[in-house]
Amino acid sequence: MLEVREKNLDRREWYSDTDRDFVCIYHKDDFFEGGIGLLTFTGLKAPDEVETAQGKLCIADKGYQWLELAPKNKNFVLTVMFRDDKIFQHYVDITRENVVNDDGDAVFYDLFLDVVFNEKGMAGIIDTEELKEAYETGVISSKDVDIANKAADEVVEFYKNNRAGLEEKLYEYRNLVSITNMLFEHQDKEYGNFTAKLIPNLQRERFIGIRSPEYKKIVKEIGKDPVIPQFLSSLPHKYHEENCLHVALINKIKDYDECVEALEAFIPYIDNWAVNDGINPTCFKKHRGELIEKIRVWLSSEAPYTRRCAMKLLMANYLDEDFKPEYLELPADLRSDDYYVNMMTAWLFAEALVKQWDTAITYIEDGRLDPWTHNKAIQKACESFRITDEQKTYLKTLKVTIDKKTNKNK
């Protein structure tokens, strides 16, 4: 019986998790906006073949890849099939609607009609009889028929006029999604379980599981891949480790203005302390005069991780030879209800007590921080091997008793 079927970008209705690996991203550029998925067939027991006018065609086997594009607000989903790293078929599902999630995964509602392009670029609109039957039996409306026919014609016309440029883009998109695929090649599921416990605000499925030393290998593998700018612009990412890789790539940007632009684009998508605290671009060391003005702006934000990022950069770049007492005024005046902001403030002042004792201790003595942060800064400083026993003893005398109801000194 004919029906409008809901289908998935990962093709779970056809292939199981043991048949293929799947990764996806949300991407937006001047050419395309929507979900991009990559299926890599790894465990098929037998080649998947279909009948065509030219005979049997193998569409899936071990090592084959399908690049899936589900454009936002369009009525088609494109499947590009790769064999030996070369495109051998484009298959277009005409759809009633594409529902694309923020992470790039998508479901779509198939309207029977399909467009197929072979290796030579020959186009064919197929399943017209199914479309007709679906309409005649009341499965779809005349509006659906119009949508299907119009979308199919537009796809054929677009291919006719843009095939060369399109194929170049498709290889670019596959390389882009392959970066996420590469992360899975370094996966350690047990480490993923461990990391998820350290970052409880994210669900377990957000973690691939990659140990810190592996990122150096991954960055080396990526090298100067021209697809890196596209990866940096593909926000938000789905996986925590994509965000960690994003930070590693930002940290390596050599041009100061380019680095700040990339960082400011990324900051709104920081969602945990681990990603935030990895940020420390090398090029900032030569631009501290300019950077401090940016830090002032970021500290004034109400967004918790924008503030935490600013304090992390302040701590990393301004507590040594470029230190000025006024720099501690910036975080001292902050007040926040956010745990991760206050913990960062405490960490910053603990480091300041290690590196700039004479200035930092006055902020503790004068009670410049809120009580919880005040005590936490003392605690973290006392845990450091770089503070003398005499300093620790004195710091402990400065702890305050907190009224839990008001979070103020008793």
pLDDT tens-place string over residues 43-102: 899 999 988 777 888 999 999 999 999 999 999 999 999 999 899 999 999 999 999 998
Number of H helices, E strands in the chain: 15, 12
Taking 70 as the pLDDT cut, the residues of the chain under it are: 119-121, 405-410
Same domain assignment for residues 216 and 98: no
Distance CA 312, CA 280 (A): 8
pLDDT attached to residue 408: 65
pLDDT attached to residue 230: 85
Residue that terminates a domain, selected from 127, 149, 177: 177
pLDDT attached to residue 259: 97
Same domain assignment for residues 359 and 244: no
Domain that holds residue 326: 318-410
Same domain assignment for residues 173 and 24: yes
pLDDT, mean over the chain: 92
Same domain assignment for residues 274 and 340: no
Residues 6+ apart with CB under 8 A from 246: 231, 232, 237, 266
Could you tell me if residue 56 is inside a domain? yes
The answer to whether the CB of 369 falls within 8 A of the CB of 393 is: no
Same domain assignment for residues 130 and 224: no
Same domain assignment for residues 244 and 210: yes
pTM (global) more than 0.75: yes
Residue that terminates a domain, selected from 124, 153, 177: 177
Same domain assignment for residues 170 and 65: yes
Same domain assignment for residues 166 and 17: yes
Residue that terminates a domain, selected from 235, 268, 285: 285
The answer to whether the CB of 175 falls within 8 A of the CB of 223 is: no
Same domain assignment for residues 169 and 192: no
* Phi, psi (deg, nearest 5) at residue 35: -95, 135
Could you tell me if residue 369 is inside a domain? yes
Task: Count the domains in the chain.
Answer: 3
Same domain assignment for residues 54 and 193: no
Could you tell me if residue 301 is inside a domain? no
Same domain assignment for residues 173 and 199: no
Could you tell me if residue 196 is inside a domain? yes
Could you tell me if residue 292 is inside a domain? no
Helix or strand holding residue 313 (H, E)? helix 304-317
Could you tell me if residue 75 is inside a domain? yes
CATH code for the domain of 74: 2.40.380
Could you tell me if residue 309 is inside a domain? no
Same domain assignment for residues 380 and 341: yes
Could you tell me if residue 290 is inside a domain? no
